[in-house]
Amino acid sequence: MVKKNNVLIIMADQLAAQALKLYGNPVCKTPHLDELANSGIVFENAYSNNPVCVPSRASMLSGLLCPEIDAFDNATELASSVPTMAHYMRSLGYWTFLSGKMHFIGPDQLHGFNERLTTDVYPANFDWIGNWTEGPSYVPSGTALNGIVEAGPCTRTMQEDYDDEVEFQSLRKIYDLSRFENQNPFFGIISFTSPHTPFNVSQKYWDLYDEKDINSPDVSPIPFDDLDYFSKSLFFAHGRHRHTVTEEHIRKTRHAYYGMISYIDNKIGKIINLLDETNQLHNTAIFFVSDHGEMLGERGMWFKQCFWEWSAHVPMIAKIPGAPKGLRSSVITSLVDLLPTILEIGNDEKPTSFSDDLSGKSLLKFAYNKGETKNSFAISDYYHIGPCVPTRMIRQDNLKLIYTHGHPSLLYDLENDPHELINLADNDNFKDDLSNLLSICFQNWDPEKINDKILQSQKRRLLIKSVPGEKPNWDYIASIGDDKRYVRKDGVDATKGKLRIPPVESIPPDMPALSKDEIDAMMKGKKTFKFNEK
C-alpha cells in the first residue's frame, strides 16, 4: 500500500504578500521562498479571513469564517467543540504536530494536535480584549507606534530566540519522523512569530540590505479629513496621534522588516533541505502562508487590522507532489480554503465528510492547472480595536468591497486601481457590482446581531479579567522558564526594551494624549486633527 502524502504548513506572522519578490517587490531577498514558488504554485490573490492574529488562525484551522466560531479579537477562544485541521487529519490516519505560535486562548491548548513542540510566544488568557464601549482610542496594551519609532538593528531579539527554538524543534521532529518506515503520514504546522512587530532584527540580517535600496511606500500618508471612518479609527487606535513618524523611521522599519523576512526565509530553506535529506520531500505537500499582512507605512498606516491590500492580502504558495511546477493562479482564495485542500490530499482525493458546511473550497485542482477562476471570492471579517462596529471585506474577481456598519461602503477596482485610491461606491457604472458584493456580504451575516453578540462577549470576558485574585493560567509551557522568557505580564513585557539585546528604553510619545470626547468629535467630523508627517 502506497503511503499517503505528508502535509506541512509553514506560517509567518504579519507578512504582507506585497513585501515578497515573488509578488513584485524587488528589494526583499527570499531565495528559498522563490525556489518553493518555482517548484509549485503561487496563489496571487490570497486573503486573510481576519486581519488580526487569533481570529485569523482560528478561522484557518477550522475552515470556518469568524462569525461562525465567534472569533472576534485577540482574546477569544476557539471552542473545543469545533473540529480543526488536526482533528480531521487524525481521523484520516495522520500523526499531527504543532511547532510555534498559534495563539490559542483558553484551557484547550491542543485543539486536536497529537503534540505541541514549543511554548506559545503570546499569553493564552483574556489579556487583549477589545472594548467597544471605550471607542476608537482604546488599545488593550502598550503604545502601538513604539514598534515603529524604535525600529532598527540589534544584537538579538526575543522573537529570534523564539523562532530559533521553533526551528530547532521542527528540525528534530523531521528527523524523528524519518526514522521509522511504518510511521503514519504526518500533518504538521510550523509557525514563526517573525516578521511581526516590533521591527528589530539582528545585525546579520540587517546587513543583507543596503539602506539606499530600501523602497518607500507607494502611497503617501492621506490627510486625516480625507480618511474613511475605518482608517480614522485606526489612526487613534494605533497611536498615530501620539508619535511623529519621520522618513528615517519609515526607512528603518522597512529595512528591519525585510531583514526579518530574510531571517524566516533562511529557516524555510533549512526545513525543506532537511525533508530532502531525510527522503521525505518527494511525498510531502508544503504550503507557505501568513496569518495576515502589514501596512508598512502605506497610506501612512502601520500594522494590520484593516482591509487595505497590504494588511489583508497574504502570500500563499503550495508545492504538491506530482503537480506541475512554476504555476501562478489568479483565483480569489483565502486561508479557509486550506482545510478542504489538505483533506483532499489526505483522503486520496476522494470526497470528504465534514461536521460543518465549510466556508472554504479545495484548491487542489488549481495546483494541477484545472480550476475555474471566474466569480471566485473571499470574505474577511474584522471585530477588534478601531471602528468598534462590525466590518467585512468581499473580494470577487477584480473588485473589492469594504463594508463598515453604519458608514458608507467603499468599492475598488484592483485591476485598474491597485493602490485603492478611487472609491467607486457612488459611481453609477458600478451600481450593479456594488449590489452583488453587498448581497454576498449579507448572506448569513447580520451586522446588528453580530454587534450585540460581540458586546456581550466583551462584557463577559472583561468581567472575568477584572476579578481580583489569582487568574487562571492557560499558557502551554513546553520548557522550564518559558513562562518568563516570552510575552507575558510577568515575563517579557512587549512594550519594554527587554525584547532586545542591548535593551532599548521605550521612546515616549512626543504628542499629548487626547480625551475620549476629543477623539469622538474628530471621528464625527466636528473637529479635525492637524499634524505634520515629516
Q: Where are the domains of the chain?
A: 6-380+474-523
Q: What angle do CA 530, 531, 534 make, to 5 degrees?
A: 155
Candidates 129, 142, 60; CA nearest to 101 is 60
Beta-strand pair 186-191/6-12? parallel
Cβ(77)–Cβ(66) below 8 Å: no
SS3 for 156?
strand
Q: How far apart are CA 105 and CA 76, in angstroms?
A: 6
pLDDT at 1 (0 to 100): 46
pLDDT at 534 (0 to 100): 41
Cβ(426)–Cβ(410) below 8 Å: no
Q: How far apart are CA 448 and CA 429, in angstroms?
A: 29
The yes-or-no answer on residue 249 being catalytic is no
Structure-block grid coordinates of residue 359: 466556508
Candidates 66, 144, 519, 74; CA nearest to 303 is 144
Q: Beta partners for 407?
A: none
Q: How far apart are CA 229 and CA 244, in angstroms?
A: 22
Helix boundaries (H) for 391-487: 431-441, 447-466, 482-485
Q: How far apart are CA 295 and CA 310, in angstroms?
A: 5
Structure-block grid coordinates of residue 224: 486625516
pLDDT at 282 (0 to 100): 96
Helix boundaries (H) for 278-346: 309-312, 338-346
The yes-or-no answer on residue 53 being catalytic is yes
Q: 6-380+474-523 is classed in which CATH architecture? A: 3-Layer(aba) Sandwich (3.40)
Q: Distance from first CA to last CA of the chain, Å, rounded?
A: 66
Q: How far apart are CA 185 and CA 281, in angstroms?
A: 12
Cα–Cα separations (whole angstroms), residue 187 to 237, 246, 345, 480 = 38, 45, 11, 27
Q: How far apart are CA 120 and CA 475, in angstroms?
A: 7
**pLDDT tens for the 534 residues of the chain, in order:** 457 999 999 999 999 999 999 999 999 999 999 999 999 999 999 999 999 999 999 999 999 999 999 999 999 999 999 999 999 999 999 999 999 999 999 999 999 999 999 999 999 999 899 999 988 877 765 557 888 999 999 999 999 999 999 999 999 999 999 998 778 899 999 999 999 999 999 999 999 999 999 999 999 999 999 999 999 999 999 988 888 999 999 999 999 999 999 999 999 999 999 999 999 999 999 999 999 999 999 999 999 999 999 999 999 999 999 999 999 999 999 999 999 999 999 987 565 666 678 999 999 999 999 988 888 999 999 999 999 999 999 999 999 999 999 999 999 999 999 999 999 999 999 999 999 999 999 999 999 999 999 999 999 999 999 998 877 789 999 998 888 888 886 666 655 556 788 887 778 888 888 888 888 888 888 888 876 544
Q: Which of 53, 66, 154, 306 is catalytic?
A: 53
Cβ(414)–Cβ(330) below 8 Å: no
Beta strands in 85-211 (DSSP E): 95-100, 115-116, 152-154, 156-157, 186-191, 200-202
Burial label for 241, CB within 10 Å (0-12, 13-18, 19+), is: buried
Cβ(89)–Cβ(400) below 8 Å: no
| Cell 479571513, located at residue | 49
Q: What share of the chain is helix, strand, coil (3-state, %, to 5)?
A: 35, 15, 50
pTM of the prediction? 0.95
pLDDT at 147 (0 to 100): 87
Candidates 168, 225, 246, 197; CA nearest to 16 is 197
Cβ(33)–Cβ(266) below 8 Å: no
Q: Which of 32, 103, 243, 255 is catalytic?
A: 103
